[in-house]
Structures are given as C-alpha cells and as structure tokens.
Amino acid sequence: MQILILGILEVLFGETQVELGGQRQQIILATLALEANKVIRVTRLMEALYGDDLPSTSRVQVQICISALRRLFAAHGHPDAIVTRTQGYSLQIPDGALDLHRYEEALTQARQLREFRRLEESAGQYRQALALWRGPALDGVESRVVQGAAERLAERRLTTTEECIELELKLGRHREVIDELNALVDENPLRARLREHLMLALYRSGRQPEALDTYRVARRLFIDELGLEPGEELRQLEHAILTGDPRLALPESLTVAPPPVEPVPPPIPPVITNPIVEEIRAPAAVPVPPVPVAPPISAAPVSAPGISPVPCLLPTDIADFTGRNQQIEAIQAQFGLAADDASQFAVPVVVMAGKPGIGKTTLAVHAAHRLAARYPDGQLFADLHGRHAEQVGPMRVLERFLRALGVPGTDVPELIEERAELYRTLLADRRMLVVLDNAGDERQVRPLVPGTSQSAVLITSRSRLAGLPGAVHIDVDVFNPEQSTELLSRIAGAERIEAEPDSAAELAELCGHLPLALRIAGARLAARPHWSVDHLVERLENEARRLDELKHSGMGIRASISLTYDHLEEDARRLFRLLTVLDFPHFSGWVAAALLDIGFAEAQDLLDDLADAQLIETSRDGRGVHAQYRFHDLIRVFARERLAADDPVEERDRALERALGALLFLAEEARRGLYGNFLRVPAEAPLHPLPARQVRQLVDPPLPWFERERLTIVAAVRQAAQAGLAAHSWSLAMTAVTLFESRIYLSDWRETHQIALEAARQAGDERGQAAILYSLGSLHIGEQRYPEALRLLAAADELFLRAGDQQGRAMVSRYVGFIDRMTGRYAEAAENYTRALETFRAGGDLVAVAYVLHSIAQIKLEQGDLDAARTLLPEALEYARRSGSRRVEAQALHRLGETHLQADEVKPAIEVLRQALDVVRELGDPVGQAYALQGLGAAYLRAGAHEKAADVLREAMELAVASAERMIEARVSMVLGELAMAVGNPPQAVVHLHRSLGLFRAISVPQLEARVLGLLSDAYTAADNPVGRDPGSLSLEPPGKPAVFSS
C-alpha cells in the first residue's frame, strides 16, 4: 500500500490506483494522512470538511466518510488501516507507505551527509527527496484545513530546493541550475535567497550582466511591493559581482581555471552572513580568474533589410497584478517542459479559458513578461476580438506579425496560406512567444501557430478551444476572498481597505470576486476619496442597479458579458434567461429540458454551449446526466435583466411550473425506488414527466440523487410557496422526507415543512395541511418527543377526516400505534395497527401492509410470542420485496433476525442480519446501519464471538452518536453492557448500562428501561457492589436475553 500526498492525492495497492470517491472522502483521507499514525479529533475532521460553518449533520458525514474509506482499505487487504480512538481516528500505515515520510527521511539523510562534508552524496539525497514531489501537495483537495497544511508543505519544499541548489553551487553545477532558478524566481519573486543563488550561478557561468540585471529587477520589485531596499546580503553580493571579487569563484579543487594572475582584491564589506556567498570569507590570496564576460548575443537570421531581430508587441504589464500563482506555475511548467525535452517536436500551446471579466488578458500579459527571457528572439501579441462583431481574422494578424518580423508591406503575400508559410519560416529557428488574446474559435488561431517547437503559443478565450490539437487547457476562475481584498487594497489603497475590513469583504462578495468587477470597484473608490467602502457596498446591494454601478472609465461588466451573450444562438439565449426564473443553487440537464419543454439531449447541448461560452460554470460534482451547472452572481444579474426585458411574465410562470413539476416527478420516482409507494399522501401538484431512460439514469440509486439535489429541493419548496404554488411546495416537502429521515437532515425537514404548512394554510389547502402535520408528527417521533407528536397527529387526523381521506387516517393510526408500542401500551398499539392494516389492505398498499405486519410482529416479539412473529414476518418480507421497498425489506429482515435470536437460532440470525446490513449499506442509510450492526453485535455475543461483537458494536455506536439517534445509542449501550459482563468486566458493564438507562429514561421507553435495570442489578452484583442489591434503588426485573429490539 502507498499513500501519495506530495501532488494529487492517490492511493496505490501494488500497481493499482484506486478510486477515492468524492471530495468529502478525499478531504478526510488527506487530513488523516497529513498526521499518519496519530489521532485526529473528530472536531478537526468536521472542520476540514466544512470550515467554521458546521451543519448539524457534520459528525454524521465524517462517520459516513470513515466507513466508506474503511471499506475501500478492507477491499484491498487492509481492514485495520483506520482505527477508532477515544477522541477520533488514526490512519495506521507502515514505514515507507507515505511519500511524505519518505521525503522527510531523505531530507534528514541529505542534511546529515552535508554536515559530514559528503557533498556529492548529500546533493543526490536532496534530489531524491525533491523527486518525490509530483506537484503541489494535495492538489485539488478543496478544504481550508488541508490547503493550509499543503501551503506549509510547499514552504518546506521550497526551502529544501534552496538548500539543494546552494549545495550544487558549491559543487560547481552553476550552469545546470540556471534554468531551474529562473523558474523558481519567477514563481517566488520576493524570495531573496533564490535571487542570490541565481546571481551567483549567472556570474560563475560568465553572465555577469545578467547577474547584475537580476539584482536590479529585484531591487525595483522590493521597493515597489514592499517599500524596502533589498537586504544586506543581496546588496553585498551585488557589490562583489560589480568588483569581480575573487572569492565568488569556485574553490580551486572544483574549477578548471586559466593560469592565475596576481590577486588585486577590491575592498570587501566587513560582514557577510549569507551561506550563498560564504566563499567571500576565504583569505584574500586566492588566484583571480579573468572577469567573466557574457557571450555575444547572436541575431536571428534575416531575409530582408530592416528586419527587427527582436520584436516585442506585448502590452505593458500592470503593477497591481494579484494572485494567479497556480496558473502561472502551470504555464511555466508546460513551456519549460517543452524546452527541456529534446524529443518534443510539437509547438507548446496553452489555452487559458474563463468567463467574461475573469482577468485572462491581464494574466496572459503578466505571464508573457515573466516568460520573455526564455524567448529572446521576441514576443508577438494580437487581440483577436473573438466575441466582437469586428472579429480579427488570421489574415490580418499574419500581416501584422510579418511586418513586426521585418517583412516590408510590399513583400507580404496575398494568400493566407502563403502568409502562414512565410510566418512559419521566419520563426523556424527562433525562440519566440506568441500571445493570442480573446480567441473566438480554433479557426482564428490555427494559422498563427508556429511550425517548430522552439516557439510557444499562449491563448486566451472564453471557450476552451478543445479542437486545438495538443493544447494544454488552464481554467481561470474567480479570486478567493484574500486575493480579492489584496486587489482592492492595491487599487484603492491598503489603509482605506484595512480601515473597513468587513465592508471590504462584503464589497468583494458583491463583486462575485470577479477581477474586472473588483478592479472597477477599486477604481471608483480611488476616484472618489470621500466615499467610504461601506457607501459603495450600499450602492451595489441594489441588484437592479448593480451592473450600472460596476462601470468606470470605459470598463463595464454589462458590456463585457453582452459581447458573449450577443454571440449565442437564440435557443441558448432563451435558456440563459429562463434559468434565472429559478432560485436553485445549481441546475442540471433535466432542469433545462423542463424550462424549455424540449428533449433532454437538446437541453444538455444548450447547457454545454452556455458553459463553453463561460456564461455558466460547471460544477466538479457529477458527470453525464448528473453534470451540474451554476451561475456566477454577476452573470445571473445580467441574465435577470435580459429576462425582464425579453420574456413575458406568463412565459416565466409556465417555465417555473414545468421545472417544479419535473423536480417533483423525479423526487417521486426516487422515493418509489427506495420505498415503493410507502405510506404516502399522493402529490396533488401537476407533474412534468421526463423520459424513462433519463429518469433511470438520474435516480438509480435514489439516495445519491436526493443528496445531490437536497439544496435544490429546499430552495424549490420556498420558491413554490412564494409563487403561490402551495401544492408544489407541500408535495416536494413531503417527498423529500425520504432524504431528510435517512441522512438526519432534521433542520431541513423542519424548515421545509414550516414553509409548506404556511403556504397550504394561506391557500386554504386542508389536505396539504394534514399531510404536513402528519409528517411533522413523524419528525417529532424521530426526536422522541411523543406528546408533541400526538398533538400534531391528532390535528392531521381531524383534517384527513374532513377531507374524507381514509388512507391519511390510516397513516396517522400507524404512527399512533408506534408511539403506543414505544411507551408500553401494547393493547392500544395492536388496536391502532389493526385499524390501519384493514385500510391498507383494502386500498392495495403493499408497502404499508408490509410495514404494519412487521410492526405487529415486533409487539409479538416483545410479548414473547415467537410463533405469531414467525407467521407475520415472512408475509411482511414478501410484500416488501414485491413492492420494491428496500428499506421496509431491511426492517423486516431485522425483525426476522431478532426472532431467530430469541429462539436461540444464532446462525440463521447472523445470516439474516447480515442481509439487512447489506441492504441499508446499499441505501446509504446510517441509522439503518446502526440498527443492523447492533443486532449483529447481539448475535455475535450470543455465539460467543466477543471480538466480532465488539467491532460491530463500536461501529454501531459511532454511527448512533454521529447521527444523534438516542434510541439506537441506548440500545447499543445496553448490548455493550451485556458484552462487558460476558467477558468478565462488571465495572465496565455498569458504565455502559448507566448510559443506556439514562437515555431510555430521557426518551421515555419504560419497557427497555426495566430491562436495563435488571441487567444493571446483575452487573452491580457481579462487581460485589451492595447498591445493586438494594430493591429501593433499582426496580429489578429478570435480565432476559441480549437486546436487539429496533424501531
């Protein structure tokens, strides 16, 4: 097994790389791997997943991720890779299995060898350590916690590189490290130590002017960026280079020098502390080689008088350039790789794509200036105006480029093919950088690509230009909050922004962290010194005027977006507008199909057209039919402006109803896939059916679809209520209970139902009110708040009675029966269940019949009537399977396992309970898993398999605690108490049983409370504690058999 974090996160078993699952699992694994073999607290893992904004289900989500990772490791022979500790979890990996550990070991050896002056071996160890890095650590793992650690690792990597190059300079490898140092200085321009290394390497390579120019560039940068002169060490090194200090030369043992001359050492500053120039400290009587002279620069071949050998058409770089280090690093890496690879014949081409206003041009110009030294024969630049009506074709650009290369206008060929041939010929033996800005499509740029690999092409476009062969694509996204604030500070003034940090953060948010919008906002503040930041925030808060506010001196967001919008086909423009009818956080192909009332494939194509034009963003979650898209905030504002201007209200209303109807249709299908037609109040809102094939692809399996669309459903319930579509609102809320209950989204459950209930009341929809009250009763049952649940169920029953809905009344009776059973009122429970069963049988509701049958069987089990339970459960299981309700099937299997266990049929019990566990794991139901594991733990205990029992009960407890399910937590604690007694540890049994007793009392389950009291009495007796024998302190009952009851 190997776990690799020095780059993209990877896990290898042998030569096989395994799929790690979604972002959440990768974040958990990365957090554990960063501190491998140490305990990571659960709270730290929750913070890694969600930052400071922890949802109520954060602990559950951590446990779900841990369980999934454990299954992954177990499937490859490492079941104990992740172990549970008191405060959290630990990733246990052997020596050498983590690349970070191998890096640290190699680095330690390198430093030890350096101390012993074994420099050649030390340099080799340094390079071995650095070779383990495959890119930025944990690249792509989107977590503030993980990326904070990754940044610290990046700093260690850079320090290691500096130490390595310092050593290689001592070994005389100055020429070999120059290219690497140039790239490192580009990436880390304020890193003085790297500039010192570069200056010394250039000087020793006979390139004294370049060494001095490196200092001058550094000095200007330090003054501009930091307001400081370079440090003492850098200044002393410059002085030593200027004066040809002999002590900058290599020691005699490491250089082949010409015959020595008499030393004439110049004055040396008294103190030099930098290890780079430590050779200066050597005695003055050292042979002085001739001062290095830079080799002459050879001009490019010319074909006509007046041809300029070094054209430079780049626009001026900007002083306030901010961020984009990752993109610049990727560009430099791509061009550097091409330059270093002798077998590379193709021209390196990089395409940077991004939405309007994202800063592609600024980035391209800045990157080109940083790359200019690598392309000494010149830099060409052209704005192709790809989204303008006056798009610049390759014919005109070639003429301009040829003139820049010195070709007289009279010699420029007429045909585009001949112009391209002459262009490629002139560039054949040159190292030139070609920057093509604002490309509209591949046809615009193909003739402008040079013919040989010495040159390189950098392209910006709002499209990805996927049809350009061999191009590397780099996506340019919005700034993060820190970069946004930095850009505002550089434009409007740091003191001004720092004086109002909260308002500055809100301003960046209103600008959507879009660089053009931030630049406009900063420029407006700079032009109006009397404005506060908060004043501009107030002006931008009005969405109707936001785009009017975001324009200044020829810059404007609306104009930038319009260029792209006007270029679209009409169907794509219409979809772009109608998407803003919805308040959904994201949308998929089925949403677009419903909005336009067209086929799924056609809708998907239109979405992709919008994404290609960078008017919507693609989410990293989901592919194929699950692909998700979203708006940038400012582009959404523009789209809403166009919607209001171009689309009648009636058309917008119809589109909204179709989209809500499609969402309800899919939610009903997903619910049916999980439960069948289980105990439901049928939706009354009109549905918008979708093709069966796409529906199967979308909602099979059901729970992952519900999880993907959870925020969409919550938003849809609210929007439907606001639009006066009460039936859509309560129908969606009811259907979503499938997800809320399975994944413990109790706050979503409560919020959606309160909204839907108010909508139904305002609409006078009594059946909708009854459905929501019934469902809220279910929520209160789940929270063990039985009196409040009974009040809500009674109100629902009254409304169902007035509506003449017998199915609804039977559903209420079923829940009242459940509460009766949990509170020990078995006769009343049986009566309510029987009444409900009659209605369900009459209506042919197989799922409801199955549920009530296994619930009655549970009563029989608790009363010790095993024969009655054996009669009822097979029938319940058959109905559940016939109706396709997997969850009710799992519940019936659990009851059947319990029946076998009470009959001392341990082996069949274990087999059936494993089947139940398989079903709930397939469904992704953490509470169901906890119940199944608790049952298995009791069965293993009865079989004498104490270690297996402990393992499954530990996992059950983790799930129970994470999901805040007090009932199952109490039951697991009870079985753990029995297990502690079985292994001869009565004190530990007392601890578990007291925990179980407290929980059962808190949720009012008297029959299980009595059972725990009996077990606790036995535990005290075994521990020889007299309290356990005091009848007044404990209401004693015989302990009975290991508890496996489940709701």
Q: Show me where the domains of the chain are located.
A: 2-94, 101-257, 346-475, 481-556, 925-1047
CA 250 – CA 267 distance, rounded (Å): 19
Query: Nearest Cα to 81, choosing from 9, 32, 132, 122?
Result: 32
Selection from 224, 198, 226 nearest residue 212 by Cα: 198
Record the tokens describing residue 457, joined without a space: 């092409």
Q: How far is the C-alpha of 87 from the C-alpha of 908, rounded, in Å?
A: 36
Q: How many C-beta neighbours within 10 Å does residue 696 have? A: 12
Torsion sign, CA atoms 887, 888, 889, 890: positive
User: What is the mean predicted confidence (pLDDT) over 350-364?
Assistant: 89
| 300 pLDDT higher than 60 | no
Directed axis angle between helix 846-862 and helix 886-902, to 10°? 20
Residue 278 has pLDDT above 70, yes or no: no
Residue 907: CA count within 13 A, CB half-sphere: 0
Digit-coded pLDDT (tens) for 912-957: 999 999 998 887 788 889 999 999 999 999 999 999 999 999 999 9
Is 869 within 8 Å of 857 (Cβ atoms)? Answer: yes
Cβ(289)–Cβ(249) below 8 Å: yes
Q: How many angstroms separate the CA atoms of 588 and 605, rounded?
A: 11
Name the pairing type of β-strands 39-41 and 88-91: antiparallel
Q: What is the 3-state secondary structure (H, E, C) of 901-949?
A: HHCCCHHHHHHHHHHHHHHHHHHCCHHHHHHHHHHHHHHHHHHCCHHHH
Instruction: Give the closest residue to 938 by CA, choosing from 983, 979, 899, 903.
Output: 979
Average pLDDT over residues 593-621: 87
Q: Which are the contacts of 733, defined by CB distance < 8 A and separation ≥ 6?
A: 717, 752, 753, 755, 756, 772, 775
Residue from 162, 164, 207, 223 nearest 187 by CA: 162
What burial class does residue 984 get, using C-beta atoms within 10 Å of its C-beta: 0-12 exposed, 13-18 middle, 19+ buried?
A: exposed
Q: What is the pLDDT of residues 146-201, one digit of tens each?
A: 988 998 899 899 999 999 999 999 999 999 999 999 999 988 888 889 999 999 99
CA angle 724, 728, 730 (to 5 degrees): 100
The architecture CATH gives domain 346-475 = 3-Layer(aba) Sandwich (3.40)
- The radius of gyration of the chain's CA atoms, rounded to the nearest angstrom, is 36
Residue 530 has a CB neighbour count (10 Å cut-off) of 5
Q: Is the pLDDT at 846 greater than 50, yes or no?
A: yes
Mind listing the pLDDT tens digit for each residue in 206-260? 898 898 989 988 888 877 777 677 888 888 898 888 888 888 887 544 433 333 3
Residue 783 has pLDDT above 60, yes or no: yes
Say yes or no: do domains 346-475 and 925-1047 share a fold: no
Say if CB 166 and CB 181 are below 8 A apart: no
Assess contact for 884 and 676: CB atoms under 8 A: yes
Q: What is the pLDDT of residues 771-781, one digit of tens each?
A: 999 999 999 99
The pLDDT tens digits of the residues spanning 411-460 come to 889 899 999 999 999 998 889 999 999 898 898 999 999 988 889 999 99
Q: The domain 2-94: what is its CATH number? A: 1.10.10.10
The 10s digit of each residue's pLDDT in 389-404 is 567 889 999 999 998 8
**Cα-to-chain-centroid distance, residue 11:** 18
pTM listed for this prediction: 0.60
* Angle value at C-alpha 412, between 429 and 305, nearest 5 degrees: 60
| 712 touches 585 (CB < 8 A) | yes
End-to-end CA distance of the chain: 41
> What does the pLDDT read at residue 335?
82
The span from the CA of 991 to the CA of 1047, in Å, is: 24
What CATH number has the domain spanning 101-257?
1.25.40.10
Helix spans in 414-511 (H): 416-427, 442-445, 481-492, 494-499, 501-510
Give me the chain's average pLDDT, please: 85
- Rounded CA separation 297/937 (Å): 80
Alpha-helical regions (H) of 227-324: 232-242
Amino acid identity, residue 83? V
The whole-angstrom separation of Cα 750 and Cα 736 is 11
Q: How many C-beta neighbours within 10 Å does residue 340 have? A: 10
Q: What are phi and psi of 571, to 5 degrees?
A: -60, -40
Contact 561, 610 (CB under 8 A): no
Q: Which of the four pLDDT bands, split at 50, 70 and 90, describes residue 356?
A: confident
Kindly state the tokens that stand for 318: 């900007």
Per residue, the 3-state secondary structure of 59-116, as one string, reads HHHHHHHHHHHHHHHHHCCCCCCEEECCCEEEECCCCCCEHHHHHHHHHHHHHHHHHC
Give the C-alpha separation, 390 to 407, whole Å: 26
551: β partners:
556
For the record, the structure tokens of 1026 come out as: 């007299």
Q: Which residues contact 316 (CB under 8 A, 6 or more apart)?
A: 365
Sign of the C-alpha dihedral computed for residues 176, 180, 181 and 182 taken in this order:
positive
Q: Is the Cα torsion angle 683, 689, 692, 696 positive or negative in sign?
A: negative
Range of lowest pLDDT (29-43, 325-339, 992-1006):
325-339
CATH topology for 925-1047?
A: 1.25.40
Q: How far apart are CA 99 and CA 663, in angstroms?
A: 46
Of residues 33 and 390, the one with the higher pLDDT is 33
| CB burial string 236-275: b at 16+ within 10 A, e below | bbbbbbeebbbbbbbeeeeeeeeeeeeeeeeebeeebebb
Q: What's the rounded Cα separation, in Å, for the pair 319 and 102?
A: 41
Q: Regarding beta strands 433-439 and 379-383, do their DSSP bridges make them parallel or antiparallel, or are they unpaired?
A: parallel
272 band by pLDDT with thresholds 50, 70 and 90? very low
- Nearest residue to 435 via CA among 378, 357, 482, 491: 378
Q: What is the rounded CA–CA span in Å between residue 788 and residue 791?
A: 5
Q: Tokens 């008088």 map to which residue?
A: 305
Which two three-digit tokens encode residue 540? 């931008």
Q: What single-letter DSSP state applies at residue 555?
A: E
Backbone dihedral angles phi then psi of residue 19, each to the nearest 5 degrees: -75, 125
Length of the chain equals 1047
Can you point out the beta strands (E) in 341-432? 349-353, 379-383
Average pLDDT of span 994-1013? 87
> Residue 110 has which token pair?
């390198």
* pLDDT band per the 50, 70, 90 thresholds, residue 553: low
Would you state the structure tokens that stand for residue 310, as one six-digit string?
Answer: 């070094």
pLDDT at 390: 65
Q: How far is residue 737 CA from its own chain's centroid?
A: 26
For 84-112, how does the pLDDT look when each residue is reduced to its tens digit (9 = 90+)? Answer: 887 789 999 988 899 999 999 999 899 88
